[in-house]
Amino acid sequence: MRKTLAFRPAAQFEVTLGSASEAFRLRCQAQQLSPGTLAWYKQILKMFARYLETQGVTTARAVTPTLIREHLEDMRERGNGTVTVARTYGGLRCFFGFLARERMIPQNPFQLVEKPRMERKLIKPLSLDQVRLLLVQCNQKRYDEHRLWTIMVLIFDTGLRISEVIGLRKDAIDFQSGVMRVMGKGGKERQVPFGLNSKRALWNYAARRGDVPGQDLFFVSRFGGRCCRYLLRKEFHRLGAQAGIQGVRVSPHTMRHTFATQYIMNGGDAFSLQQILGHSTLDMVKVYVGLANRDVALLHQKFSPMDRMGLVPGGKRRVIVR
Its sign, for the CA torsion 131, 137, 142, 148, is: negative
Residue 40 vs residue 297, higher pLDDT = 40
Band of the pLDDT at 155, cuts 50, 70, 90? very high
Report which of 130, 277, 155, 156 is spatially closest to residue 219, judged by C-alpha positions.
Answer: 155
Which residues are CB-neighbours of 108 under 8 A, at least 6 positions away? Answer: 96, 97, 99, 100
Identity of residue 294: R
Taking the alpha carbons at both ends of the chain, their separation in whole angstroms is 97
Residue 50 confidence (pLDDT) above 80: yes
pLDDT of residue 314: 43
Identity of residue 230: Y
User: For 105, what's the count of Cα atoms within 13 Å in the CB-facing half-sphere?
Assistant: 22
pLDDT digits (tens, 9 = 90+) for 17-32: 999 999 999 999 998 8
pLDDT digits (tens, 9 = 90+) for 73-111: 999 999 888 888 999 999 999 999 999 999 999 999 999
Task: Quote helix, strand, coil % in the chain, to nearest 5.
Answer: 60, 5, 35
Which residues are CB-neighbours of 197 under 8 A, at least 6 positions away? Answer: 153, 157
Structural contact between residues 208 and 171, judged by C-beta atoms closer than 8 angstroms: no
pLDDT of residue 293: 58
CA distance 75 to 130: 33
Residue 12 confidence (pLDDT) above 90: no
Domains, the chain, in order of start with CATH, read 15-100 (1.10.150), 126-295 (1.10.443.10)
pLDDT digits (tens, 9 = 90+) for 204-218: 999 999 888 889 999
Query: Hey, which bits of the chain come out as E strands?
Result: 173-174, 179-183, 189-193
Looking at the chain, the whole-number percentage of residues with pLDDT higher than 90 is: 56
Among the residue ranges 64-78, 157-171, 295-309, the one predicted with the least confidence is 295-309
CA distance 215 to 226: 9
pLDDT digits (tens, 9 = 90+) for 119-133: 766 678 899 999 999
- In terms of Cβ atoms closer than 10 Å to its own Cβ (0-12, 13-18, 19+), residue 214 is exposed
Q: What is the DSSP string of 50-99?
A: HHHHHTT--BGGG--HHHHHHHHHHHHHTT--HHHHHHHHHHHHHHHHHH
Question: Rounded mean pLDDT of 230-240?
Answer: 94
CA 268 to chain centre: 22
CA distance 194 to 199: 7
pLDDT of residue 51: 95
pTM of the predicted structure, to 2 decimals: 0.68
The overall average pLDDT reported for the chain is: 84
pLDDT of residue 289: 65
Among the residue ranges 104-108, 248-252, 294-298, 305-309, the one predicted with the least confidence is 305-309
For residue 28, count other CB atoms closer than 10 A to its CB. Answer: 17
